[in-house]
A and B are shown apart, each in its own frame.
Chain A
Amino acid sequence: MKQILITLVEDKPGVLNRIASLFRRRNYNIDSLVVGKSEKPGVSRMTIMTNEEDQRKRGHIYFNLLNLVNVIAVKDVSNLGCVTREFILIKIQIGPDQLNEVNEVVKSHGARIVDMGKETVIIEATEREKEIDALVDELTPFNITEIMRTGKIAMRKGKTHKISSDKINAQADDVNWVPENIHTYHN
């Protein structure tokens, strides 16, 4: 199973560089990394996926990430209830006689056609990784010319992990954002 880390970082220049540099120099593999604005100005929320299987090495990644000064908090949600989604845009080249067929595939996967050109259509879908893979598989017989896929984004189910409003202090509001207790993480 992949390691999924939800990370709160200060929205400052170079932060992405620091995280990428950490993964590179420690020889950790990033499977995917998605970053965007969070509910709090000045703070970005990231979903980082790694393909590290070893629990001890997962701990290394977790704590090294936490050690970065611009990283406010990290939550390892690999084993917790999460909604995870990926987003995809697919461009296929089709003849007019194939449109119905494509439409059926698209509908059966809960995807949408968002652009229809003379010879091409663009399809979008927001789903779990597996369903996205299945959609791509089913569209493969058609002539796929471009795929743009985001990495996975994740949000933990249940109680809100909001960021304190008076200051960027993620620890204040929700005990879940206190840096993972080292003693429980390692044992």
Chain B
Amino acid sequence: MSKRNLTGAEIIWECVAIEGVDVVFGYPGGTILPAYDALDKYRKKIHHVLVRHEQGATHMADGYARASGKVGVAMATSGPGATNMITGMATAMMDSVPIVCITGQVPSPVIGSDAFQEIDITGASIPVTKHNYLVLDINDLAETIKEAFHVARSGRPGPVLVDIPKDIQNQSIDFIYPTGDIELPGLIEPQGADESQIKKFSEMIADSERPIILSGHGVLLSGATQEILDLANLAQIPIGTTLLGIGGVPASHPLVLGMMGMHGETWVNRAIQESDLLIACGMRFDDRVTGKLQTYSPNSKKIHIEIDPSEINKNVHVDLPIHGDLKSVIHQMIPVLSKKKNDSWIKKIDGWQNKSKDRDIIHQETEMLMGAHVVRKIWEGTKGDALVITDVGQHQMLEAQYYEHEEPRTLLTSGGLGTMGFSLPAGIGASFYEKDREIWIIVGDGSFQMTMTELGTAVQENRNINIAIINNGYLGMVRQWQEMFYEARYVETPILSPDYVKLAAAYGIEAFQVKSLDDVIPTMRKVQKQTGPSLIEFVVEQHDMVYPMVPAGADLHEMIERPINSKNGNANIQKEELKK
């Protein structure tokens, strides 16, 4: 490559463009101004999205990364710009999402002097990033950015922050892009399975009578959908998914059972508890998945295939740990496995599933509009083919239960950190990758009010997104806990909403309010026809709860199920039922 004299600011964009990035989400400010000034020369290669809050920028980069599998990029100034990114980086960290955050920093000579808008963001972001950098020499800049992208996407992906002082952005050098592979001895190479493990794996499967695959986010990250299905089909093993594993395997596949965990399907949790072999694939036995650890799947042998060695044996002791990339490990296993039938086991699970139907709200007629019914209608109205982004709370669990995803990366949700306010910015970010698929943001009234400021971004960028607010007038999931575990004292959970139709109108967004089930699909049809952002507020039954539920810290099989045929879906759960 020929030498060119470039400023640090220009080098940032050169490097970002070389990484294949064509969209950056950010917000300008004092110490990042040189980079923004230089952006003007790179307009043809890079589109910049002006957000309304830096947290939004990180969630947009996150949503873009989750939808595309590529690295998302967010940019902000020093001080408050940088600290506003903390929540977004933490969200990406917990869910293994590759993003690179570039922040301006005060000029290097004044670092440490409490200069205006100075904050030690590399220090502050250590716990919420996979790695971070402070660039103090322009000669290191290009290599650092290259390394940051490499670290973000390698192994178990995660967020990386690069902090660049203003004077470094202003200096110039003869720019030569560092070619060749990055040598980072500190990154751990996945080991893969050895001969004895392959043998043990096939023996454990052959010996099992009640096996189940636990399919996690790693299936999507590794691109191992086909491999998991091959494994399941070959040895007739049913599959349960984690929240982030949804879409990793098609919901309609006969062996795919549904979601496990706190609000997982009863038959999946029962299958896990009665199983004699768990095959955990790219998941981390989160407490929302296991319930009480001491009684978790007590009679099973456990296999754990995982790319991050620190996750193995962290929460659950495993009998066969395999450190490696999921796709290649299962590739190693398939040839040595023999065909197998588990008919009686499958039949048993089917029995549980059939029995639970009469408790399922979806089969009940209700007077009020129910959140679950809205989600189901959205599923029908999009033929199950939309990219859905959810926020955090009851609506999130209802989406996981009632929207069936057939393809990877069609549900984006904040699982590990449970970040309210995630969905609108993440949906905007995802829309820059997913240009053909219909996009639905399903969000509660509480969550929406956390980041609804990004409506401005959606309009300015004319994003094709549909926002479905499930409005029950409460912080619903917190209310549910209050009802179940705090003797129905609803302290600070009723929440006022603005008139969402008027709010949308103020932004020039067409919006509707829906109060009855019959209006759901017709209203969807209206917004599906138009381009640009749209909003529907679904006013739903205020007191409904998400069932089934495993109370925090309870045994996974201690599921509270929905009372049968209660008129309003729940309504007041019997105390005796709780105590069971």
Are B310 and A60 in touch, CB under 8 angstroms? yes
Between A67, A73, A169, A187, the greatest number of chain B beta carbons within 10 A of the residue's beta carbon is seen for A67
Q: Which residue of A lies closest to B189 (CB)?
A: A179
Are B126 and A18 in touch, CB under 8 angstroms? yes
Interface string of B322-337 (1 = CB under 8 A from A): 1100000000000000
Are B321 and A187 in touch, CB under 8 angstroms? yes
Residues of A43-90 whose CB lies within 8 A of B: 56, 59-60, 63-64, 66-73
Interface string of B166-204 (1 = CB under 8 A from A): 000000000000000001111110010010010000000
Tell me the complex Cα distance, A186–B309, Å: 10
Q: Is A21 an interface residue (CB 8 A)?
A: yes
Tell me the complex Cα distance, A165–B315, Å: 39
Q: Is B123 an interface residue (CB 8 A)?
A: yes
Known: A21-B126, A25-B127, A60-B314. A186 touches B321 (CB 8 A): yes
Q: Which residue of A lies closest to B183 (CB)?
A: A167
Q: Is B308 an interface residue (CB 8 A)?
A: yes
Q: Which residue of A lies closest to B122 (CB)?
A: A14
Q: Is A181 an interface residue (CB 8 A)?
A: yes
Are A72 and B186 in touch, CB under 8 angstroms? yes
Are A10 and B186 in touch, CB under 8 angstroms? yes
Q: Is B239 an interface residue (CB 8 A)?
A: no
Residues of B125-177 whose CB lies within 8 A of A: 126-127, 130-131, 134, 151
Are A69 and B151 in touch, CB under 8 angstroms? yes
Tell me the complex Cα distance, A26–B328, Å: 31
Q: Is A1 an interface residue (CB 8 A)?
A: no
Are A179 and B188 in touch, CB under 8 angstroms? yes
Are B309 and A63 in touch, CB under 8 angstroms? yes
Tell me the complex Cα distance, A63–B309, Å: 6
Q: Which residue of A lies closest to B324 (CB)?
A: A182
Are A68 and B185 in touch, CB under 8 angstroms? no
Count the B residues whose beta carbon is within 8 Å of the partner chain — how many? 28
Q: Is B252 an interface residue (CB 8 A)?
A: no
Tell me the complex Cα distance, A9–B122, Å: 18
Q: Is A171 an interface residue (CB 8 A)?
A: yes
Q: Is A122 an interface residue (CB 8 A)?
A: no
Q: Is B299 an interface residue (CB 8 A)?
A: no
Tell me the complex Cα distance, A168–B313, Å: 30
Known: A63-B309, A183-B194. A169 touches B185 (CB 8 A): yes
Tell me the complex Cα distance, A66–B317, Å: 20
Tell me the complex Cα distance, A73–B184, Å: 12
Q: Is B312 an interface residue (CB 8 A)?
A: yes
Residues of A within 8 A of B187 (CB): 69
Tell me the complex Cα distance, A17–B222, Å: 32
Are B131 and A56 in touch, CB under 8 angstroms? no
Q: Is A170 an interface residue (CB 8 A)?
A: yes
Are A17 and B123 in touch, CB under 8 angstroms? yes
B18 to chain A, nearest CB (A): 21
Tell me the complex Cα distance, A68–B187, Å: 8
Between A13, A17, A21, A186, the greatest number of chain B beta carbons within 10 A of the residue's beta carbon is seen for A186
Known: A59-B313, A182-B321. A69 touches B130 (CB 8 A): yes
Q: Which residue of A lies closest to B306 (CB)?
A: A182
Are B321 and A183 in touch, CB under 8 angstroms? yes
A182 to chain B, nearest CB (A): 4
Q: Which residue of B lies closest to A72 (CB)?
A: B185
Interface string of A130-150 (1 = CB under 8 A from B): 000000000000000000000
B307 to chain A, nearest CB (A): 11
Tell me the complex Cα distance, A62–B197, Å: 22
Are B313 and A186 in touch, CB under 8 angstroms? yes
Are B123 and A67 in touch, CB under 8 angstroms? no
Residues of A64-121 whose CB lies within 8 A of B: 64, 66-73
Q: Which of A25, A64, A73 contacts B310 (CB 8 A)?
A: A64
Known: A60-B310, A67-B308, A67-B310. A169 touches B126 (CB 8 A): no
Tell me the complex Cα distance, A23–B134, Å: 22
Interface string of A163-186 (1 = CB under 8 A from B): 000011111000000010111001
Residues of B within 8 A of A168 (CB): 183, 185
Are A182 and B185 in touch, CB under 8 angstroms? no
Tell me the complex Cα distance, A10–B322, Å: 28
Q: Which of B134, B310, B317 contacts A63 (CB 8 A)?
A: B310
Are B186 and A71 in touch, CB under 8 angstroms? yes
Tell me the complex Cα distance, A72–B322, Å: 22
A6 to chain B, nearest CB (A): 16
Residues of A within 8 A of B197 (CB): 183
Tell me the complex Cα distance, A73–B186, Å: 7
Are A69 and B131 in touch, CB under 8 angstroms? yes
Are B191 and A182 in touch, CB under 8 angstroms? yes
Are B323 and A171 in touch, CB under 8 angstroms? no
A21 to chain B, nearest CB (A): 5
Known: A21-B126, A67-B310. A169 touches B183 (CB 8 A): yes
Are A182 and B309 in touch, CB under 8 angstroms? yes
Are A183 and B323 in touch, CB under 8 angstroms? yes
Between B151, B183, B194, B323, the greatest number of chain A beta carbons within 10 A of the residue's beta carbon is seen for B323
Tell me the complex Cα distance, A56–B314, Å: 8
Residues of B within 8 A of A186 (CB): 312-313, 318, 321
Tell me the complex Cα distance, A187–B194, Å: 15
A14 to chain B, nearest CB (A): 7
Are A182 and B312 in touch, CB under 8 angstroms? yes
Residues of B within 8 A of A182 (CB): 191, 309, 312, 321, 323
Are B188 and A181 in touch, CB under 8 angstroms? no
Known: A186-B312, A186-B313. A70 touches B186 (CB 8 A): yes
Tell me the complex Cα distance, A13–B183, Å: 19
Residues of B within 8 A of A171 (CB): 185
A5 to chain B, nearest CB (A): 14
Tell me the complex Cα distance, A167–B186, Å: 13
Are A56 and B127 in touch, CB under 8 angstroms? no
B570 to chain A, nearest CB (A): 39
Tell me the complex Cα distance, A167–B191, Å: 22
Tell me the complex Cα distance, A18–B130, Å: 11
A127 to chain B, nearest CB (A): 34
Residues of A within 8 A of B130 (CB): 69
Are B313 and A56 in touch, CB under 8 angstroms? yes
Are B310 and A181 in touch, CB under 8 angstroms? no
A11 to chain B, nearest CB (A): 12
Residues of A within 8 A of B194 (CB): 183
10 contacts between A and B (CB under 8 A): A14-B122, A17-B123, A63-B310, A69-B184, A70-B131, A70-B186, A179-B309, A182-B323, A183-B191, A186-B321
The 3 A-B pairs with the shortest beta carbon distances in the complex, nearest first, are A63-B310, A182-B323, A69-B131
Residues of B within 8 A of A (CB): 122-123, 126-127, 130-131, 134, 151, 183-188, 191, 194, 197, 308-310, 312-314, 317-318, 321-323
Known: A69-B131, A169-B183, A182-B321. 19 other contacts (CB 8 A): A10-B186, A14-B122, A14-B134, A17-B126, A18-B126, A63-B312, A66-B188, A66-B310, A67-B308, A67-B310, A70-B131, A167-B185, A168-B183, A171-B185, A182-B191, A183-B322, A183-B323, A186-B312, A186-B313
